[in-house]
């Protein structure tokens, strides 16, 4: 589908809201929109939410919001859902006892909604989020936030122009461990940051992202089997219906970045929080391939094993490792000149922990440090400090942060600027892998460059 045709289709469907979408580098004013004011929320007002995309992830997120409401005095309610697959639309509408639509514009056009959850494939994220904000709604936007770096730039501008609250849905960033690590680093416990590392490793005999396919479903399907394939493709390349692409979209570059966008976002976003200052990378290179066994040799484009190295202008580097064909973990940590802070020493990077550990590089007098305010509640060993971390439901904490910020109009834990700096790194890594070259980031132009960029 051509870009111009896509814009015409979107404008036609969104005409009631006056929404012009999809043009790179456009500002809110240039889009010609009339900003819709959002409802002013009182402390006891119930927040009314619409959900776009109720497949596996969207359905789960809608359930999590509903469970949160049940435990928090009915603070929010799912009022409407939409999905291009009739079976999913019907299931979610019945589950949440709400209206259901095939056309996502129906969610955007509703005046009674305060917020929209966007949980579609990645290539639709930016356009739907911008449409929601232009219509006066706050947005809970599933990671990896956007599909391209041009879209990241547009989204940052749209949040500024509309003054809406946008929370990127990487729930791990609301876990206490990252904020405790951030404070420990800010307090100088590891000295100057030298390097961060993280990993995401899984192993499945079915191969990664090979979700079940409903054989009867498709654009020719009747009743619950109907899929609006043209709308699902949206801004992506036009092609005949492909069930593998629809049900297993993360295996294809048109809609996803594979490991990078699905999983590395859960590593890069928290690290930007830990560093104390979210940062764009200066230099990025990636490598990997389809190395797995028979389960990974089926129809796919993205690698099952993927690695990234990045350098930052602040004077530190980042190393990320992953494989979907081997589950052995590499500890998640940040190295400083004076010490190392270990956020995850077992399991996946986003898994909850009850403490983080600081290991010194040089012999130190812990008894002396124990007298300082920084040490309150810390456990001191002969060669390490354990900092206790509050274990909680990360998803519930992330939702609570979003709901609270909707009322206070403060920035959420994973705001659009922090989210953009994480996704730029990830998108550069995907581009580096696909083009087989080192890339540099030109922050002023929001563009990748083949050559180093002068400060």
Specify if 116 maps to a domain.
yes
Do 183 and 155 lie in one domain? The reply is no
Specify if 267 maps to a domain.
yes
Structure letter (DSSP) for residue 155 = H
What pTM does this model have? Answer: 0.90
Q: Which residue has the tokens 């800010």?
A: 186
Residue 204's pLDDT band, with cuts at 50, 70 and 90, is confident
The CA distance from 202 to 216, in Å, is: 30
Average the pLDDT over 94-116 and give the result.
98
Q: What is the b/e burial string over 73-86, where b = at least 16 CB atoms within 10 angstroms of the residue's CB?
A: eebbbbbbbbbbbb
Do 85 and 180 lie in one domain? The reply is no
Compute the 3-state secondary structure of the chain and give helix, strand, coil in percent, each to the nearest 5. Answer: 35, 20, 40
pLDDT tens, 293-326?
A: 888 888 899 999 999 999 999 999 999 999 999 9
Q: What is the DSSP string of 216-230?
A: T-BTT--GGGBB-HH
Do 139 and 180 lie in one domain? The reply is no
Do 269 and 147 lie in one domain? The reply is no
Specify if 158 maps to a domain.
yes
Do 154 and 192 lie in one domain? The reply is no
Q: What is the pLDDT of residue 41?
A: 75
Do 179 and 311 lie in one domain? The reply is yes
pLDDT exceeds cutoff 80 at 367: no
Q: What is the pLDDT of residue 21?
A: 36
The CA distance from 377 to 362, in Å, is: 23
* CATH assignment at residue 93: 3.40.50.720
Specify if 397 maps to a domain.
no
The CA distance from 256 to 212, in Å, is: 18
Q: What is the pLDDT of residue 369?
A: 52
Do 273 and 374 lie in one domain? The reply is yes
Do 135 and 182 lie in one domain? The reply is no
Average the pLDDT over 91-103 and give the result.
98
Q: How far is CA 277 from CA 157, 421, 444, 445, in A?
A: 19, 10, 18, 21
Q: Are strands 316-323 and 193-201 parallel, antiparallel or unpaired?
A: parallel
* CATH assignment at residue 272: 3.30.360.10
Specify if 338 maps to a domain.
yes
Q: Containing domain of residue 343, as a range? A: 174-207+256-392+426-435
Do 159 and 292 lie in one domain? The reply is no
pLDDT tens, 380-433?
A: 555 788 999 998 899 999 999 999 999 999 999 999 999 999 999 999 999 999
Higher-scoring residue by pLDDT: 204, 222: 222
Do 181 and 159 lie in one domain? The reply is no
Specify if 441 maps to a domain.
no
Specify if 279 maps to a domain.
yes
Specify if 220 maps to a domain.
no
Number of domains in the chain: 2
Q: What is the pLDDT of residue 380?
A: 59
Q: What is the pLDDT of residue 164?
A: 98
Do 198 and 63 lie in one domain? The reply is no
List the single range of 240-244, 359-363, 371-375, 408-412 with lowest mean pLDDT.
371-375
Q: What is the pLDDT of residue 308?
A: 98
């Amino acid at each position: 589908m051509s870009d111009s045709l896509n814009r015409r289709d979107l404008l036609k469907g969104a005409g009631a809201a006056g929404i012009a979408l999809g043009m790179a580098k456009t500002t809110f004013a240039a889009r010609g929109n009339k900003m819709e004011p959002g409802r002013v929320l009182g402390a006891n007002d119930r927040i009314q939410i619409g959900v776009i995309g109720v497949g596996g992830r969207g359905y789960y997120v809608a359930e999590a919001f509903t469970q949160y409401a049940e435990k928090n005095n009915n603070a929010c309610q799912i009022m409407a859902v939409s999905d291009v697959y009739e079976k999913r639309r019907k299931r979610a509408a019945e589950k949440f006892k709400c209206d259901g639509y095939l056309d996502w514009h129906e969610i955007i056009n509703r005046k009674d909604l305060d917020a929209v959850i966007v949980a579609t494939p990645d290539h639709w994220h930016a356009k739907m989020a911008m449409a929601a904000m232009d219509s006066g709604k706050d947005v809970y936007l599933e990671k990896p936030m956007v599909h391209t770096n041009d879209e990241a730039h547009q989204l940052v501008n749209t949040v500024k122009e509309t003054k809406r609250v946008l929370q990127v849905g990487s729930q791990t960033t609301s876990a206490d461990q990252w904020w405790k690590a951030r404070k420990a680093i800010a307090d100088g416990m590891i000295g100057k940051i030298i390097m961060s590392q993280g990993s995401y490793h899984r192993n499945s005999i079915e191969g990664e992202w090979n979700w079940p396919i409903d054989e009867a479903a498709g654009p020719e399907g009747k009743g619950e089997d109907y899929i609006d394939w043209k709308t699902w493709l949206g801004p992506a390349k036009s092609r005949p219906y492909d069930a593998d692409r629809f049900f297993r979209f993360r295996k294809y570059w048109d809609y996803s970045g594979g490991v990078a966008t699905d999983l590395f976002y859960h590593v890069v976003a928290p690290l930007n929080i830990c560093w104390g200052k979210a940062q764009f990378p200066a230099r990025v290179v990636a490598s990997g391939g389809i190395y797995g066994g028979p389960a990974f040799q089926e129809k796919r484009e993205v690698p099952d094993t993927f690695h990234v190295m990045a350098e930052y202008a602040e004077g530190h580097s980042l190393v990320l490792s992953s494989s979907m064909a081997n589950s052995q973990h590499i500890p998640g940590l940040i190295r400083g000149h004076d010490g190392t802070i270990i956020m995850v020493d077992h399991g996946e990077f986003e898994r909850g922990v009850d403490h983080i550990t600081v290991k010194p590089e040089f012999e130190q007098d812990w008894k002396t440090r124990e007298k300082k305010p920084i040490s309150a509640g810390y456990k001191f060993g002969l060669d390490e400090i354990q900092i206790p971390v509050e274990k909680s439901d990360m998803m519930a904490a992330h939702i609570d942060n979003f709901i609270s910020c909707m009322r206070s109009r403060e920035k959420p834990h994973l705001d659009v600027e922090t989210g953009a700096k994480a996704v730029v790194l990830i998108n550069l890594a995907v581009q580096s892998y696909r083009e087989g070259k080192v890339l540099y980031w030109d922050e002023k132009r929001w563009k990748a460059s083949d050559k180093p960029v002068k400060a």
